[in-house]
Amino acid sequence: MTTTAAGPRPQAAGPSSGPALFHPTVARLTYRGLLGRRRALLLLALPMLLLIIVVAVRALAGQDDGTTADLLRSFALAAMVPLVGVIAGTGAIGPEIDDGAIVYLLAKPIRRSTIILTKLVVAIAVTAAFCAVPTLIAGLILNGNGQRLAVAFAVAAAVASVAYAAIFLMLGVITRHAVVVGLVYALVWEGVVGNLVPGARTLSVQQWALAVAQKVSENSTVTSDVSLPTSVVLLVVATCAATWFAVRKLSTLKLAGEE
């Protein structure tokens, strides 16, 4: 290695400067990791499947409001959003913790809350982009936004993306099996229990998002078991609580347990 004389010692910016809640470099590292080749394909798979299905349904069954609402609720909102949320939410931090690369973020004069909030913003943006946009397109293909179904479900997908991203990001921090736990939660709780057990529906992100869709759409078949005010409160509480817990866990994350 050379004995190149080091230049003037770089002066680090003081703690008061720089973004407090969002760090662009953390965001860049997160989205580049998230949109790496394999994971990008995974993220694209479900939206592509949705579009293929709606094109087929539109071609075979024609334009129908009931079918549109059913398809957007049962496939887009109940399956696609939570599954994309699992991939984006856990993928925003889980792999870095697993392989130890998170060291390069943690060994910096950056608050742990900034790391989590930045990663949350990226996870939300990716989930919403891969869910809300395809949902809107699917709705437009199915019935041309009749009874504002396309917009209603797109807004619902975006709202659900926020809560799912926060919940799955938290799982990515607290467990090495975040993807498995996330899938079980998404499929068993949101998919089965949330649809079958009346009481559990109150605690289902899907139902909270449906309440938003119900408000936006003009279709009477789009209904939620949870009222809109309750849904909004629960969405905010779930998102904030998951984020707070993720910050707490990252602050005391133990990187060394091998010995």
Partner 1 sequence: MTTIGIDKVSRWFGNVVAVNDITMTIGPGVTGLLGPNGAGKSTLINMMAGFLAPSSGAVTLDATPIWRNEQAYRQIGIVPEREAMYDFLTAREFVEANAELHGLPEPGAAAQRALATVEMQYAQDRRIETYSKGMRQRAKMASALVHEPSVLLLDEPFNGMDPRQRLQLMALLRRMGAEGRTVLFSSHILEEVEQLAHHIEVVVAGRHAASGDFRKIRRLMTDRPHRYLVRSSDDRRLASVLIAHASTAGIELDWTEKALRIQAIDFAGFTEFLPRIARDHDIRLYAVSPSDESLESVFSYLVTA
**Residue among 41, 44, 74, 100 that touches partner 1 (CB under 8 A):** 100
Q: Are the CB atoms for 161 and 237 separated by under 8 Å?
A: no
From 231, 178, 174, 181, select the one nearest 201 (Cα to Cα).
Answer: 231
Instruction: Please tell me whether residue 64 adopts helix, strand or coil conformation.
Output: coil
93 lies in the binding site for partner 1 (CB under 8 A): no
**Residue among 101, 180, 233, 236 that touches partner 1 (CB under 8 A):** 101
Question: Residue 159 corresponds to which tokens in the numbers above?
Answer: 């709202």
257 lies in the binding site for partner 1 (CB under 8 A): yes
Taking each continuous run of H as one helix and of E as one strand, the counts in the chain are 13, 0
Nearest-approach distance from CB 80 to partner 1, in angstroms = 26
Helix axes 37-61, 112-143, angle to 10 degrees: 20
Q: x/- string (CB under 8 A) for partner 1, residues 13-42?
A: x-x-xx----xxxx-xx--xx--x------
Nearest-approach distance from CB 240 to partner 1, in angstroms = 22
- Round to whole Å and give the CA distance between 131 and 168: 16
**Residue among 27, 45, 67, 111 that touches partner 1 (CB under 8 A):** 111
- Round to whole Å and give the CA distance between 220 and 152: 12
Nearest residue (CB) to partner 1, 7 versus 229: 7
Count interface residues toward partner 1 (CB under 8 A).
45
Task: Tell me the window of 2-10, 56-64, 174-182, 217-225 that interacts with partner 1 (CB under 8 A).
Answer: 2-10
Nearest residue (CB) to partner 1, 159 versus 247: 247
Q: Are the CB atoms for 121 and 202 separated by under 8 Å?
A: no
**Residue among 86, 105, 156, 222 that touches partner 1 (CB under 8 A):** 105
Nearest-approach distance from CB 203 to partner 1, in angstroms = 33
SS3 content of the chain, % helix, strand, coil (to 5): 75, 0, 25
Nearest residue (CB) to partner 1, 95 versus 182: 95
Amino acid at 36: G
φ/ψ of residue 83, rounded to 5:
-70, -45
122 lies in the binding site for partner 1 (CB under 8 A): no
Give the residues lining the site for partner 1 (CB under 8 A).
Answer: 1-4, 6-7, 9-13, 15, 17-18, 23-26, 28-29, 32-33, 36, 99-101, 103-112, 251-259
